[in-house]
Amino acid sequence: MAKLKLAVYWTAACGGCDMAMLDMGERVLELDRVADIVLWPLVADFKYSDVRQMEDNAIDICLLHGAVRNEENRQMAELLRQKSRVLVALGSCACFGGIPGLANFFDRQEIFTWVYLESQSTDNAGGVCPQTSARVPEGELTLPEFFDTVLTLDQVVDVDYYIPGCPPTTEMLWQAIQTLTGDQLPPKGTVFAGSKTLCDRCTRQKEGKSITGFRRLAAVDIDLQRCFLEQGIVCCGPATRSGCGGRCLRANMPCRGCFGPTEHVRDQGARLVGAIAAMIASDHREEIEKISHLLPVPDDPAATFYRFSLPHSLLKRKRKENAS
């Protein structure tokens, strides 16, 4: 059998998913036995022109990690879609927008103003902000356009499979690669993770969700056996897809939600807000407000509940002031 052609590419991402690939260890060599790597900026030098010269569908499997943040990301996503038989959204950024997606609580102008003008570490006497084109004596310089809104991969191109996680676990990654390089491809849209939420796999004791106060993890002596939420510690597990193997939970850290919502949920953050509101053990408005104010995230509840999934959610971004 001819070797498969594999591409790995990143857009707006931290590179953690690449690290997860490398974390597979010797299995990378096994991967090499079944597939030729035709693009992987982390490990080898390829040029965009190399990709452009390929025939359509020349790549068998493309693992793309990262959100779509600018015009270059979009063009590469479109190019790789065109050149790939199977396009996989790898990691939380590609699947849901991930951490870069939190920028959707701001717009381009706000981000530029802070990053290039106002932040204390900035020295930009000329007040220059990124522009798509600038004239210099040598000619015209161009930059890809920085989008107002961070997008998920599937908001830009058609995506075949999803491997969530920040980063995905190496076990899961290896399993997905084995499946994708095997004879039988799973149904389109398959998410390489569990179908239920993390609570299904969590072994902590659950008695009943009734919260009289929220607490910071660092401020309490936690019961290592008991459900975090039942101790008043915000855990995103109930609204987060399982499949991570509970690596945070095993380290006594509550879930932060990187595997995104389950199949039937469009908005992980809204689900979490609804679920946590339902846990507050009071029917009296004032008492509820008192308890809610004890949430350990008073300044940033949005980023707590939408940490990895804002662009994917119904909310998608902060409302634009001039929106009709």
Given the rule CB under 8 A, which residues bind another protein? 195-201, 206, 208-210, 237-239, 242, 261-266, 271-272, 274-275, 277-279, 281
Instruction: Give whichever of 138 and 158 is closer to another protein, judged by the CB atom.
Output: 158
- Beta-strand ranges (E) seen in the chain are 4-10, 35-39, 59-65, 68-70, 84-90, 133-136, 139-142, 146-151, 161-163
Instruction: Give whichever of 84 and 262 is closer to another protein, judged by the CB atom.
Output: 262
- We find the least distance from the C-beta atom of residue 195 to another protein, in angstroms, to be 6
Per DSSP, what are the bridge partners of residue 136? 139
User: Do 162 and 258 meet the contact criterion of CB atoms below 8 Å apart?
Assistant: no
Instruction: Give whichever of 253 and 281 is closer to another protein, judged by the CB atom.
Output: 281
- We find the least distance from the C-beta atom of residue 208 to another protein, in angstroms, to be 6
Instruction: Give whichever of 180 and 276 is closer to another protein, judged by the CB atom.
Output: 276
- We find the least distance from the C-beta atom of residue 275 to another protein, in angstroms, to be 4
- We find the least distance from the C-beta atom of residue 118 to another protein, in angstroms, to be 36
Q: How many CA atoms within 13 Å lie on the side-chain side of 35? A: 24
What sign does the dihedral 216-219-220-221 (CA atoms) show?
Answer: positive
Assigned token pair, 183: 């004879």
Tokens 């846990």 belong to residue = 279
- We find the least distance from the C-beta atom of residue 266 to another protein, in angstroms, to be 7
* DSSP 8-state code for residue 115: I
- We find the least distance from the C-beta atom of residue 272 to another protein, in angstroms, to be 6
- Can you say how many angstroms the Cα of residue 37 is from the centroid of all Cα atoms in its chain? 24
Region of 316 on the Ramachandran plot (φ > 0 left; ψ -120 to 50 alpha; else beta): left
Neighbours of 228 (CB within 10 A): 22
- We find the least distance from the C-beta atom of residue 93 to another protein, in angstroms, to be 22
64, 94, 98, 69: which is closest to 80 by C-alpha? Answer: 64
Instruction: Give whichever of 85 and 226 is closer to another protein, judged by the CB atom.
Output: 226
Instruction: Give whichever of 167 and 237 is closer to another protein, judged by the CB atom.
Output: 237
User: Residue 107 corresponds to which amino acid?
Assistant: D
Instruction: Give whichever of 26 and 263 is closer to another protein, judged by the CB atom.
Output: 263
User: Do 39 and 87 meet the contact criterion of CB atoms below 8 Å apart?
Assistant: no
